[in-house]
Amino acid sequence: MGGFLTVKIKFFKMNGAGNDFIVIDNRENALKDFDISHFVRMVCRRGKSIGADGLMLLERSDSADFKMRYFNSDGSEGEMCGNGARCIARFANLMNVAKEHMRFETIAGIHEAVIVGEEVQIMFPDLKVNDFKLLQRHDFGFGPIEYHFGTVGVPHVVIFRGDVESMEDELLLNWGRKIRYALDVFPRGTNVNFVKVVGPSHIIVRTYERGVENETLACGTGSIASSIVSFLIHAVEPPVTVKVRGGELKVGFERCADEFKNVYLQGDARVVAEGYILPDAWKE
C-alpha cells in the first residue's frame, strides 16, 4: 500500500453556485509527468473518479498574483470560467498566494477579484456592445428560432423562453447540443443559455456548457452574457440577480457609449473537501 500511495496529487474540491471544480496548486509543477488533458478527463468522471464540471490549476505568473488554467471536464482547456474564477480566487487567498484584492492571469487576459465576506467578486474586461449580435435567426434542426450571441471570454448563445424553469431536461439537452455543435455558425462551438426575464433586475438562466457537454448548475460567463443581452433586448437594469439551478449570482455592468464597463460577477465560492487523488482515479 505504501508504494501505491507514493504517486498522489493533493487537491481541493470547490464549487460556486453548484458549478463544481477540482483545484490543484501547480506552482511546483505537480503534474509535470502527466498528459494534463487525459488526466482531467479521467478525474472529472462522475461515479468512477472524483467527478467535477472542470479542473483548475493555480500556477505562477510573471504579470499577476497567479495564473489560472481552466480545463473543461472533457479535457479541453478553456479561455475563462466565471464561477471557476471565483473559486480559484478564494483558493489563492486561503493559500496566501494573494491578498483580498488580487489580479490573476487567464488565456482571456488579466482579471481582478475581490473577496467580499463569504463571496467573491470577479471583474471582467470591458465588452464591446457591437460584439453582441442580436436578433439572429437560424434553423438548427428544429425549425427557425431567434437567438442572440456574445462573447464573455468564451462564446455564448442566449435564447429567451417563457418556460425555462419547466423546460424538460431532454429538450434542453437536445437544443443545447445541436446549437453547440453548429460549427458552420459557431466555428469554436458555443455555450447555450436559456433565459427568462422575471423582474426589472431579475432573470432565470439554465445553461448547456461547451466542454462539459451537459447542463450545469451554473455558468458565470453565461450569467453575464444573459444579463447583458437581457439589458439590450428587455431593458433589464443592473445589477442583475441571476437565478441558476445552483443558487443565485449577481451581475453588474455600466453601459458607456459603445462599451460595457465595470463588468463583474459576484457569488459564493465554497471549499468543500481536500485530499489526495490516487492512481486509480486516472486509470481508464
The pLDDT tens digits for 10-61 are 999 999 999 999 999 999 999 999 999 999 999 999 999 999 999 999 999 9
**Class of domain 4-124+270-282 as given by CATH:** alpha beta
The span from the CA of 14 to the CA of 62, in Å, is: 26
pLDDT tens-digit profile of 129-167? 999 999 999 999 999 999 999 999 899 999 999 999 999
Domain ranges of the chain: 4-124+270-282, 127-268
Give the CA count within 13 Å in the CB-facing half-sphere of 278.
9
Beta bridge partners of 122: 113, 265
pLDDT tens per residue across span 197-251 = 999 999 999 999 999 999 999 999 999 999 999 999 999 999 999 999 999 999 9
Q: What does the pLDDT read at residue 280?
A: 95
Model confidence pLDDT, tens digit, residues 67-107: 999 999 999 999 899 999 999 999 999 999 999 999 999 99
* pLDDT at res. 71: 97
Is residue 75 part of an annotated ligand binding site?
no
- Work out the pLDDT band at 3, boundaries 50, 70, 90: low
* Confidence label for 183 from pLDDT (cuts 50, 70 and 90): very high
State the residue for C-alpha cell 438562466. 205
**CATH label, 127-268, candidates 3.10.310.10, 3.10.50.40, 3.30.70.260, 3.90.1150.10:** 3.10.310.10
The yes-or-no answer to whether 4-124+270-282 and 127-268 have a common fold is: yes
Per the annotation, does 90 bind a ligand? no
Answer yes or no: is 15 a known binding residue. Answer: no
User: Catalytic residue numbers?
Assistant: 81, 219
pLDDT at 277 over 70: yes
233 Rama class: left (phi>0) / alpha (psi -120 to 50) / beta: alpha
